[in-house]
Each structure stands twice: as C-alpha cells, then as structure tokens.
Structure 1
Amino acid sequence: MSDHKTYQLSTLKPAILITTLFISTSTLAAELNYQDQTKLHDIATDVSATRIGSDIQTLVDFGTRHTLSETKSNTRGIGAARRWIKAEFEKISQQCGGCLEVIEVKNTISGEKRIPNPVEVVNIIAIQRGTDQPNRMVMMSGDIDSRVSDVMDFTSDAPGANDNASGVAGVIESARVLSKYKFNGSIVYAALSGEEQGLFGGKILADYAQKQGWQVHGVLNNDMIGNITGINGVTDNTTARIFSEGTRVIETKEQAHKRRFTGGEVDSASRNLARYIDTIADRYIPNLDTLLVYRLDRFGRGGHHRPFNDMGYAAVRVMETNENYNHQHQDLRTEDGIVYGDTIDGVDFDYTAKLTALNAVSLASMAWAPAPPNNVEISGAVQPSTTLKWQKNNDKTTTGYRLYWRYTSEPQWQFSRYVGDVSEATLKNVVIDNYYFGVAAVNKDGIESPVVFPGDVGAFEQTLK
C-alpha cells in the first residue's frame, strides 16, 4: 500500500479531487460527530395520537376487514375499508398540491388453502415521489385485513384494532406528516391486504416493485404497534422491537462460501436497516428504546415484510415488545373471566403515535439522505490497516462518505470517520480481523444513509432473483 499518498483531513480542499484517503486512528474511541437535525425532531412531534386514535376507530367500525369479507357495502367489510383508506390518501394529496400518487396494486388469488375461490386482493398505495431520485424508494406498510379464531370466518365481527388497524393508522398519519416536506428520494405508504390469508398483499406489491424497477432501499412493516400490556403481565410503553433477518434467502452458494471466510452473517442490508432505525429512536424519539431482534420474525411466525425479504430487498418488522395473545386472532368472548378479542380498548394511542413517529423520522431521514453506496469492497488481510472502496454515488445529494466499524461481538456501530468525497479510504492500524466495517453516504446537512457492509451480503442494491 506504499504507493498511496497520505492526506490529513484538515488539509482537504473542495477544489481538489481526491479518490484515496489514509486515516490515522490513534484511538478507537471515535466521536461519531453526528449533526442533529431540527426538522427530524419537528416530524416526530407532529405525529398526533388523536388522529391515530380516530383512524383506528374508523377501521374498527367496519366490523370486519377479513380478506374474504364484503366488498360492496359502504359500511362493512374490507371493500369499505379500502375505499376509506384510498379517500384519506387522496385527501392528504389534495392538501399537499397533488404530492401523492394514489393507486391500487392488486391481483386475483385463488386455489390457495386460505383463499380457495377467486378473490381480488387489493393494496392501497400512496407514492410521494422524490425530487432528485424518484425511483429510489423507502416504504412503510401496515395490514388492512383482520380475522377471528377461524381464519376462514369472514362474517363474524373482527375489529382488528391492534392487529392491524394500528399499523394502517400509522401509515396514514405518516403520510399526513411527511407530505408537508419534499425529499430527494421517494416514500411509499402501503396499506396491504391478504396478510392473514398468506401474505398475499406483500407478495403482490413486492412483485410490482420489481417489475417497476423500483430501487427499494428499505421496507418498514408495522404489524401491531399499539399494545403495551403483554400476556406476560408486563406493561411497557418505552420499548419496541425491530425484527430483521440475517443473510438473504436468495444468497447463492458462491456468496455463502465467501461469507464463511469474510463474515457478514449479522450485517445483511436488513440488519443495517434495523440498526439505522434503532439509531433514529435514540436520537429523535423520547422514551423509546428499540430492541434489535436477530430473527426474520417472531418464532415460527410471519409478517408482510417477508415477501420483500424473499426477493432480496432490505425489510424489517417494527412492533410492540409485549404481545397479548388473548387479543390476537380471537373470537369476541369472555371465558373464565378472561376477555378475548382485538378491541380498541386494548390500544394505547400515545404508544402507537410514538412508534409511528419512529417510522416517519426514519423514512424522512432515508429519503433526505443519499442512496447507500454500491459495490463496497474491503481488503486488509495480513496487513496492519484496513482499506474500503466503493462506487461513488452519481447524484446531487451525496457530499461525502463516512466509514463505520465495530467489534464483531457488538450489535451497533461503535466508531466512525468522515472521509470526504472519496471512493477509497484506509484506516491505519485498524486490523481487519478484529472488526466489522461499513460505509455510509452523507449529504450536505450531515444526514446519512444506512451503513453498507462490504460485499454481496451487505449490499442494498443487487440483482434480485
């Protein structure tokens, strides 16, 4: 590496094109030097628990939102719920001068165990296009449909207040708040159908995104964000969980072989998306600690982020920490003094607003930030220093890059260095064997993309199969 020149950060000048940089790190206790963003604080405080509560009540009042339920009525069934959601998105769009493109993304499903006869599964989608990179997407989703004990019972009342009117209300509220701003990248607000019958709405939208060529850099699926008292007897409104899978399910044998020797099992794009959201919580959401759960979803269970993971996109599930199973997938009844059913009295609107704010701020930060860098590579085997290389973003947003590293046993990034508008940098005397590394893109205001771990395992952009 002796052929590279060494530059001091303090001597870099904007007029000089520098593509390679050495960084001397005499101490690892590096200050992250993050620039606090007033506008992200403003977004967090703008989220209204009152509006969210009103939206949850409206959804509950449709009686049932089962995927196979009534579609013609204006007051009952999933058809009425879908039309109301679409009208809300259109109302928001009118208030922001037509900033939302409101569409239905749908398909007819039949011959499935839980959908034996043809049923049109309809997603209501609102797209807030970015000013500079309209094809770069971050997404927030929630599920419209509800159910009772028998998954095929589409006539009984199924309020679905927490599961998942809370998530849909959060999506609508995020659209209200974020539509007041303009972003570099696009934000997608998705109300999905068919979740309880087999994650069909997510499959339909993921397939649509791929066919449209969307550059999906993050899906935040919100499924049950309103309950604070668990069946374990714990009442807690200060924590939430973020579920994220490790290595991609579409990983090839060649990629798996390389990962075995270079690491990355806990640094997929989904994992680093989860870390990003966790950091947002620490900085911008008071009294909220998010728990990084290293699992695709709850043990043996599923959610609507999975179809996006199945196609290789970075996607996570955001939800409450303590679930009450007496209020999930239950007929409305009382047995042995225990009240069963997912009714609105089991939803804490302030807590739902807190998790909605977490989503809104995370979406805004990613949409304002540059795209995560592509083609991140690393070298440094049997050397005293570690070198990272990447492809510089070809956009108006990126002004520089920041290197991150942490001990391999640590869940969050510990150390960082801003390296400027370069495509290669070396951390002197930081041995590659002892740490995990990554690169984030930075804009002029200091807002950063998620960190990208080197190689295919950490890439946000890749060939999806």
Structure 2
Amino acid sequence: MSQHPAGIPRRTALSATVATAVVGVPALASTASAAPAAASTGRGAGDRPVTAQSPDRELRELLKEIDRDRIEATVRRLAAFGTRHTLSSQDDPERGIGAARDWIHAELKRYAEASGGRMTVELQSYVQEPASRIPVATRITNVVATLRGSVDPGRIHVVSGHYDSRATDVMDAVSDAPGADDDASGVAVAMELARVMARRRPAATIVFAAVAGEEQGLYGAAHMAERFKAAGADVRAMFTNDIVGSSRADDGSRDPYTVRLFAEGVPTSETPEEAATRRSIGGENDSATRQLARFVRDVASNDATGMDVRVVYRRDRYLRGGDHIPFLERGYSAARFTEPAEDFAHQHQDVRVEDGQQYGDLPEFCDFGYIARVARVNGAVLWTLAQAPAAPRGVKIVTSSLTNSTELVWEPGTEPDLAGYEVVWRETTEPEWTHVIRAGGATSHTVDLSKDNVFFGVRAVNRAGHRGPVAFPVPQR
C-alpha cells in the first residue's frame, strides 16, 4: 500500500503533499486512476480556494468597461420617476412604473443595437389577478434582454434586479418611493452588464432582466421562472441583485469591498426520495446552488473585481426574500447578491426631513463605486459561466461493492472545445474544495481514497482552461 511521508495510508487521509497545481493549466492527464499525491492541495495564493480561477485578459478587459458614472446615471434616472410601485400608473410618461418600464426597455434596445442581432429585448407581460398585495387585476411587466450564445445557446444564465419600488406602506402606490438602493442599484447592475456584453460573443446565453412585482410578492420573477420551466429551458444559474447600493450599515460602519451571496442548501424542490438520498450521503452543503456559490468565490473574489464575496449558507435574510426564490422553487440553481449590512433607517422609508436629516431610499445614500464593483463580481461570474463548460451531468459515485478507493462516472459533455475533466474533493468538515486532480477526457475516474471519508465532485475544462461549476455525485449501486 502506498504511504504518506508520515506513514499514514493515503486511502484513509488526504495527502499532506502539495504537488503541482492544475488550476489554470489547460492540459489534462489521461490516466484512469490517481492517488492524492498527484493533486494540488489546500489553498492558492492569497488564501484563495485551490479551485480558484484567475481572470484572463478577455475578462479583465470586459470588467474595465463597467462604468461607475453610467451606473450612477441609471440609478438617478430610475429614482427620478418618483415612484415605481407596481400599482402605480402604467401610462403616465413621467411618473410611475410604466414610465420606468418604457425607459428601461428603450435603453436595453439601444444597447442591443451594438450586438449585431445577437441581443433581443422584449416586454414580458401578464395580468396578475387579485392576490396578496394585489387588490385589483394588474399588468406586471418584466423587461428582458437576451444575449444568445454563439456555441451553446440552449444553456442559459440569468441576472436580474427588480425595478418596482415601495414606500413604508407596501400598498401606497402614490407617495414618492425613489427606490435607489432597493432596487435601482440591482437594475443598474443588470443594465450595465447588458451594455458591456452586447458587443461580445458569449459561448452560452446570458439573460439580463429588470423584473416588476417584487415588493408585492415576487410576481414578475415567478412569471419569468415559470416561462423558462414551461419551455424546458436549461437555466444553469440565476442571480438576483437586490439592495446592492451601499456598503453602509445602520450604525454608520462601512464594508465597501464585501458583497454577500445568499445560497440555499437542501433544495425545497427536491422530491422526498431525492431529499432522503441527500441526507444519506451528507450532501446538505452540496446542492447545485452551493456549488454555484463556490464557483462565484472561485472566479469573482480577486483583484479584477476588487471585492470579496461572503457566501451565506441561507436562502435569504430573516423575514424577507428575493427574486431568486421562484427559480429555486422550480428546481433552478439561484442565489442573491446583497450588500454586507443594511441601513434600515433609509430602506422603505417615506421621503421626509426630520431634524434636518433627510430620510428615504434616495440616490444620495448610494455608493456608486460600490455598485460598480458588485457589477464586476456579476460580470466575472456570468462571463466565466458562459465561456466555460457546463457542470457535468449524471455524476455518480459507484457504490456497488465495498472498496477503499472511489470510482466516479459521468455523462460526456457536448461542448466542441471540451478538453476533459477534473476531480475535486475535501474533508466532510471543509466548506470549500481543497484538492483537485486531472481526470483526462474519459467519463470515469478512480481515486485511491475512501468515498466514506471525503466529499467528491467533478468539473469540466475547455481548451482555453476555463473550468465550469462542480457537480456533486449521487450513489450508483
């Protein structure tokens, strides 16, 4: 039996040897099995996860084009509509949600002109019959720009913000509700990314959406998610940006270089049988959304974005929810970006002045440089997802016999530039992947480690060296 330098059998513990890292190296080995000594271990430079990917020149150039001043102009223009309440006027050209809708639509159409026909823009409308916070039948309209992928257009990634706003009274459709932070900031992120990416050719499809009805009950996002589901769309990731306008907390402290990412663990969309399987293998921290969150950390916490992504292992904050939830409920991987702490004195407050202090969700309380950095985080994630191979499908860990090694199998990817695969693993008590090993171009791989002791995953690599998200295996007997 092969031994560690300290004499510990490598089948029972992770290797203590740090070998050549495979991160950033497109070439892949073709061996059918490997031991931990062939893997990169621990963390990379700057305490980054070993699976981290450094941005290439193309991505760095894209992120440099994200314009803080344009983001500010977008936030101020949306706030200037007075209120964007879902129940406000839909036909007033200057005030209300209809005016905001028409302006967003016109802007996205203008961005699409630079795409050579690759980007299309639509008004996605339906009539919501009376329901919670909707007292009368109300037309709800999402504004959606779709940048079609040039290689794998059926694989879809969505980024959104909600353009409706509210005052303190959620049913008040008349009072001013500028909604600069909540959520003109998130809409500005999605729109700025649409502007920057319209001139480019992503391999997979990216959808940029401004949705309505969020404050009344996530209605617009639910309609969009249901349309995707009904069409059988292959939505691989959805991110909502909701309250990403400021790094200031209600005690005045600031954290300008952190953004939170809320990521659900055990999916509520799972069947009882799927949930039982997850519990039996200890996969509570390995949902597709959690793998997506790890991927976000891998590609977006770096010098190119200027940000650290703080992953929070929750669906959302207490007492509240965002537009990622309807996607989660329909079985899609989805997560929420939001600022590191919230200033509740200015959120959902009617515009007023008390003792010389102005209150309300106003542009003056936004940090536009911060929003631009959040946009870079989103841009790094979406572009890498679109350029990299998809997470492998059908990943299984073979459990048909008792053995102290681990065999993984998966379905072959269909990307034309697919170079091969990598196997990752970590101790069951570790939150992030700590080891990665080349697995070649085959669709099976054996590692000389006991499947009982660690968690495994598989990710695909293309010829440019882009790695996709990790897929977590289920048992195959």
Q: How does the TM-score come out when normalised to structure 1?
A: 0.91
Deviations 1:256-284 (A, max 9, x none): 22222212101111111111111122235
Counterpart for residue 230 of structure 1: 249
Tell me the SS of whatever aligns to 1:325: coil
Counterpart for residue 417 of structure 1: 437
Deviations 1:15-53 (A, max 9, x none): x997x7101222765375856511112222211101000
Cα pair distance change 1:398/1:334, threshold 3 Å: same
Deviations 1:212-254 (A, max 9, x none): 2210000011001111110133211011100011111121121
| 1:23 paired to 2:42 | no
Distance 2:356 2:432 in 1: 44
Counterpart for residue 397 of structure 2: 378
Structure 1 position 73, deviation (Å): 1.4
Deviations 1:44-88 (A, max 9, x none): 221110100011111011111000111111111110111111111
Distance 1:25 1:452 in 2: 20
Q: State the AA in 2 paired with 1:453.
A: F
The one of 150, 157, 166 equivalent to 1:131 is 150
Equivalences for residues 30-429 of structure 1 within 5 A = 30=41, 32=50, 34=53, 36-283=55-302, 285-335=304-354, 339-379=358-398, 382-428=402-448
Give the CA RMSD over aligned residues.
2.1
Counterpart for residue 437 of structure 1: 456
Distance 2:187 2:267 in 1: 27
Distance 2:444 2:244 in 1: 41
Distance 2:305 2:229 in 1: 36
Tell me the SS of whatever aligns to 1:73: coil
Distance 1:110 1:149 in 2: 24
Structure 1 position 113, deviation (Å): 2.3
> Contact 2:167/2:349 (CA < 8 Å) preserved in 1?
yes
> Contact 1:404/1:413 (CA < 8 Å) preserved in 2?
yes
Distance 1:53 1:337 in 2: 25
Deviations 1:371-397 (A, max 9, x none): 211000013674222221110112313
Structure 1 position 335, deviation (Å): 4.0
> Contact 2:40/2:437 (CA < 8 Å) preserved in 1?
no
Q: State the AA in 1 paired with 2:425.
A: W
Distance 1:262 1:365 in 2: 30
Distance 1:436 1:363 in 2: 26
Tell me the SS of whatever aligns to 1:375: coil
Structure 1 position 431, deviation (Å): 2.0
Tell me the SS of whatever aligns to 1:197: helix
> Contact 2:39/2:437 (CA < 8 Å) preserved in 1?
no
Cα pair distance change 1:35/1:425, threshold 3 Å: farther
> Contact 1:184/1:397 (CA < 8 Å) preserved in 2?
no
Deviates more, 1:372-381 or 1:126-135: 372-381
> Contact 1:35/1:446 (CA < 8 Å) preserved in 2?
no
Counterpart for residue 10 of structure 2: none
Q: State the AA in 2 paired with 1:197.
A: Q
Q: Which runs of 5+ in 2 are unaligned?
A: 1-19, 21-27, 45-49
Deviations 1:90-138 (A, max 9, x none): 1011122222111122211122120010100000000000112111100
Cα pair distance change 1:234/1:362, threshold 3 Å: same
Structure 1 position 344, deviation (Å): 0.3
Tell me the SS of whatever aligns to 1:439: strand
Distance 1:17 1:40 in 2: 27
Structure 1 position 290, deviation (Å): 1.1
> Contact 2:146/2:207 (CA < 8 Å) preserved in 1?
yes
> Contact 2:67/2:372 (CA < 8 Å) preserved in 1?
yes
Distance 2:255 2:29 in 1: 52
> Contact 2:150/2:201 (CA < 8 Å) preserved in 1?
yes
Cα pair distance change 1:355/1:95, threshold 3 Å: same
Cα pair distance change 1:298/1:326, threshold 3 Å: same
Distance 2:226 2:305 in 1: 37
> Contact 1:108/1:120 (CA < 8 Å) preserved in 2?
yes
> Contact 2:159/2:190 (CA < 8 Å) preserved in 1?
yes
Structure 1 position 299, deviation (Å): 1.4
Distance 1:211 1:260 in 2: 29
Tell me the SS of whatever aligns to 1:365: helix
> Contact 2:302/2:308 (CA < 8 Å) preserved in 1?
no
Tell me the SS of whatever aligns to 1:391: coil
Tell me the SS of whatever aligns to 1:431: coil
> Contact 2:29/2:438 (CA < 8 Å) preserved in 1?
no
> Contact 2:424/2:435 (CA < 8 Å) preserved in 1?
yes
Q: How does the TM-score come out when normalised to structure 2?
A: 0.88
Structure 1 position 178, deviation (Å): 1.3
Q: State the AA in 2 paired with 1:402.
A: E
Q: State the AA in 1 paired with 2:285.
A: V
Q: State the AA in 2 paired with 1:152.
A: M
Tell me the SS of whatever aligns to 2:415: coil
Q: Which runs of 5+ in 1 are unaligned?
A: 1-8, 10-15, 457-465
Cα pair distance change 1:424/1:27, threshold 3 Å: closer
Distance 1:336 1:246 in 2: 45
Structure 1 position 202, deviation (Å): 0.6
Counterpart for residue 462 of structure 1: none
